[in-house]
A and B are shown apart, each in its own frame.
Chain A
């Protein structure tokens, strides 16, 4: 029995770490939802695109290499240089800002004042476009991403737990780093949206376009800003997931795991995304550990969605979401 409890504690910790990874993706959704009332279906693909771009720049890949070779009959392969990780990350962040500007110019600008559902449909289109674009630009093969984040078992955690409870816990060092980075990111984002002029303007735009214009807020600036930040968050999520499981096109599907996280935490709350992610991460791991064997396993595939369904029935705005106020 005591063994079971110790194992549970280890599972719990690993659940927390997985939860952080979910939360990282969910954060991007929350940001755009807060600022434009739009559920950005393309958030997962943006993470994929960011990761692809990062690897591409790092390894000196020539963008659109197949296209160039096919059209001009050349045999270009790559630039033959390696860009240092830090520089590559900065360049990728620049690409994400550029992407935000393009999205505003080509898509959002033409949809000012439209229903949220219209904007949602536009993001579905954006998701498919971006996925294909990433494919053409950087190729479809699975790539490994290494920006120098430590990986593998954390010896410190193992040693400490071995001494205290007589059993060394297995915690991936990458997960620990992901938690630290997520914590910094969230603190920065909360401070930004709650205390700065731009943050206040962002919340204003989410509520009412007309009113925001009338107090002198430029919708275009706010949208570019928000999509840039969401692009940056996507980059962070892309780095973490890409390092963990390789940069491949199934990465865009992690967006699906962010959905139950958002239903739990609330679509409008940054801390909610974190808490929601942690609850789902821990919940699905513990459930798999205790109940999984009784029902034949593989519960991780559906646990999060069932939990989200329960929340939808009893607390549709999530744990931290803004109350839906309706005067009759």
Chain B
């Protein structure tokens, strides 16, 4: 298999990976005098699970924030589905079909799990607010369709028993899962996960890994994720970008990356003479 071929490739487990969906070219992001991202280029292909890894402070989250529009890079180009994206507001990016989760969970604590997930579908509701307010005509049909889709996701992520619970009352691991559900509800073309397994115990990590694989498998969702845990990343992802101090130091299959000397140095440290 040649993961660097231009028209896609087939993974070891037989999944067909398509053309490039997101192409980042020479991205540089500065905060004042600090360069958080230094001239990085990489792409994300249709249907693949793409990981961004690196030590603390490597610029992984900044990279994800560039893709989701929360940060606008000073230099470089962001291409999505063959079009160059100008500077955009995060909500405009979301409307293009890019959904995300956050490292430190951003949910609507006062709302129930169901309502939280429904917010993921806000942009799919087209009927007028008057007919929505009185539950009439197109609004009714639309709400039923949206609810059906949300129920499917709730089933899929096995959170039926907490659907009416206010999110603020849930334990950490479940909150992470609800956040994933909300992102999925938007039926995104690109799903960004910022440390989906941070702070979880082994069992929760295994659950989350399984869900990520299932989402990719079942819905064919393209996923880009950031993760600390090397073991998890290597098992999950098709291709890995490795960052260190804002630079890209490796890019390829998990095996390629594992044997890359620069990556080994970044993770294990290296003796300087």
Contact = CB atoms under 8 A, between A and B. Distances in A.
Interface centre among B68, B100, B106, B135 (most CB of A within 10 A): B106
Contacts of A212: 91, 108, 119
A191 B134 CA distance: 7
Interface string A133-162: 000000000000000000000000000000
Nearest to A217: B91
A49 B60 CA distance: 50
A219 interface: yes
Contacts of A196: 129, 132-133
B169 A215 contact: no
B111 interface: yes
Contacts of B68: 214
B132 A214 contact: no
Nearest to B123: A216
Interface string A186-229: 00100110011111110110111011111111110000000000
Nearest to A201: B122
A207 B119 CA distance: 12
Contacts of B94: 213-216
Interface centre among B110, B118, B134, B169 (most CB of A within 10 A): B110
A322 interface: yes
Given A203-B108, A207-B108, A216-B186, A327 B129 contact: no
A325 interface: yes
Contacts of A188: 133
Nearest to B129: A196
B196 interface: no
B91 A195 contact: no
Contacts of B230: none
A202 to B, nearest CB: 11
Contacts of B183: 214
A214 B90 CA distance: 6
A197 B125 contact: yes
B89 to A, nearest CB: 7
A215 B107 contact: no
Given A325-B166, A325-B169, A211 B133 contact: no
A210 B68 CA distance: 11
A196 B166 CA distance: 20
A112 to B, nearest CB: 11
B91 A216 contact: yes
Given A195-B133, A327-B169, A211 B122 contact: no
Nearest to A37: B110
Interface string A172-190: 0000000000000000100
A203 B112 CA distance: 12
Given A212-B91, A215-B122, 9 more contacts: A196-B133, A200-B118, A203-B110, A210-B102, A214-B94, A214-B99, A215-B120, A215-B123, A219-B91
Interface of B: 68, 70, 89-92, 94-95, 99-100, 102, 106-111, 115, 118-120, 122-123, 125, 129, 132-135, 166, 168-169, 171, 182-183, 186
The 3 residue pairs across chains A and B that have the minimum distance between CB atoms: A216-B94, A211-B106, A207-B108
